[in-house]
Amino acid sequence: MPFCKFFGQCPVCKFQDRSYEETLREKARRVEEVLGVPVEVVASPKDRGYRGRVVFHVRKPEPGNLIIGYTLERGFVFGVDECPILEPALSSLIRKINGVMAPAPLSVWDAEKGRGKLVSLTLVGNDSGVVLSLNLRKPVFVKRLTFQIMDRIPEIVGVWWSIGTFGEYIAGGRGEMFRVFRAGRETFKVTPYGEYPDNLNVLPAIWRALRRTLGGKVVAFMTGLYVPPTRITTYVDRRGMPVKEFMETSEALSVHPDIRAMDPGAFVMVNREMYDFVVVHVDRVKDREVLEVGRRAVLIGTDARKLQGFNPAKPHKVYMFDVLPYTGESLIMAVY
């Protein structure tokens, strides 16, 4: 039985009318049909309340009426007031945030009319506290709204303003930026902006599979960002801030980010010699020539057809990590 009152209408979950085991088999079958090899399925340790970060789109059809929810197409937002796949701390804040922001004078971006300021909201956190990012179309000073949110919603420990739907760069803010998640034996410090799966519970399994596959070899991780050749390992966030710079900024804020919290495809190590492996996230890298820098390849992505198009050869091994249970999305890792 579906466990969400919005199932069948909301564009996010596709399989709540089936058991979790059935959804895993269906996702694996679709990947196997495309790549032609058996798939090792890695289930999420949690299939409900698993999502520790979410991007909500917003609409404001009239003053005082704010719609917060999900979208899969331009201009459409399906409003929700709770979501059982979110960490309970995030789900419980939807109504509270709406109550503060609906009457606020901050305009919402209207794609059809080409005007407005607020594009989306990003929430990250758990029952120890939540950080909110107001993702804006252009720089706007929202200090008063920031104080209202933090004063009226004590669960929110930080409010930041960024430019772009997914926080392409940070314009300002107040309070904490990092939250600590524990997944298995691993501990990660995360922000609304880091490049990592929204379901951190799966992240340790992804890294275990990568370490087992790579076995200490010399590896190039490709994200499509250019870094000058160097023997120094350079970690690069997809949104353009090298972690060295990120670390320096963080030190100024007295926080200490953990680069392991990033998605495996979200950093680059550049070397002058041929690599033993090249690891490519095909959702971000479009140039197939990057395969030429490694003797072997590991491709990562959410679409099996993209992996096949990037490298038509049959992979030796395929993993499917169920990063978003009950949705149609998983993270696929193919070893060539």
- Is residue 18 within a helix (H) or strand (E), and if so which, with residue range? none
Share of the chain above pLDDT 70, in %: 81
222 or 296, which is more confident: 296
Give dist(CA 249, CA 255) in Å, integer: 9
Q: Could you read off the pLDDT of 189-202 as tens digits, one per residue?
A: 788 876 678 898 88
Give the pLDDT confidence of 108-167 residue by residue, as tens digits: 988 888 889 999 999 999 999 999 999 999 888 888 999 999 999 999 999 999 887 666
Rounded mean pLDDT of 176-188?
Answer: 80
**Band (241; pLDDT cuts 50, 70, 90):** very low
In the predicted structure, residue 218 carries a pLDDT above the cut 60: yes
The CA-based angle 291-262-292, given to 5 degrees, is 5
Position 166 scores a pLDDT of: 63
**Which tokens sit at 3?**
């466990």
How far apart (Å, rounded) are the C-alpha atoms in residues 321 and 336? 18
Most confident of 173-177, 202-206, 319-323: 319-323
Summarize the confidence of residues 71-85 as an average pLDDT.
87
Q: Which segments of 224-293 are extended strands (E)? A: 275-281
Look-up of token digits 């959702």: 283
Classify burial at 96, counting beta carbons within 10 Å of its beta carbon; exposed 0-12, middle 13-18, buried 19 or more: middle
Inter-residue long-range contacts of 82-85, CB under 8 Å, 24+ positions, other chains counted = 82/5, 83/4, 83/6, 83/12, 83/54, 84/3, 84/4, 84/48, 84/49, 85/4, 85/12, 85/13, 85/48, 85/49, 85/50, 85/51, 85/324, 85/325, 85/326, 85/327
In the structure, what pLDDT confidence band is assigned to residue 242 with cuts at 50, 70 and 90? very low
pTM: 0.81
Q: Under a CB-based contact definition with an 8 Å cutoff, are residues 234 and 285 in contact?
A: no
Chain position carrying tokens 């990660």: 188
pLDDT at 177: 87
The mean predicted confidence, pLDDT, of the chain is 82
Kindly tell me if the per-residue pLDDT of 306 is higher than 90.
yes
**What's the number of CA atoms in the CB half-sphere (13 Å) around residue 327?**
24
Q: One-letter amino acid identity for 51?
A: R
Q: What are 234's two structure tokens?
A: 């350079």
Domains and CATH numbers, the chain: 35-45+197-335 (no CATH), 53-182 (2.40.50.1070)
Residue 224: the pLDDT is 45
Query: Which structure tokens are listed for 197?
Result: 């799966």
pLDDT score at 315: 96
Which ranges of the chain would DSSP assign to H, the alpha helix? 20-35, 88-91, 93-101, 143-152, 203-214, 243-252, 304-310
Q: Is 197 exposed, middle or buried (0-12, 13-18, 19+ CB in 10 A)?
A: buried
CA distance 85 to 104: 28
- C-alpha 164/C-alpha 30 separation (Å) is 33
CA separation for the pair 53, 229 (Å, rounded): 34
Transcribe 85-129 into DSSP letters. Answer: TB-HHHHTHHHHHHHHHTTSS--B-BTTTTB-SEEEEEEEEETTE
Do the beta carbons of residue 92 and residue 126 sit within 8 Å?
no
Residue 327, pLDDT above cutoff 90: yes
Average pLDDT (201-210) is 85
* Residue that has been written with the tokens 């039985």 in this structure: 1
pLDDT at residue 179, rounded to an integer: 85
Lowest mean pLDDT among 170-184, 189-203, 265-279: 265-279
- Residue 53 is which amino acid? R
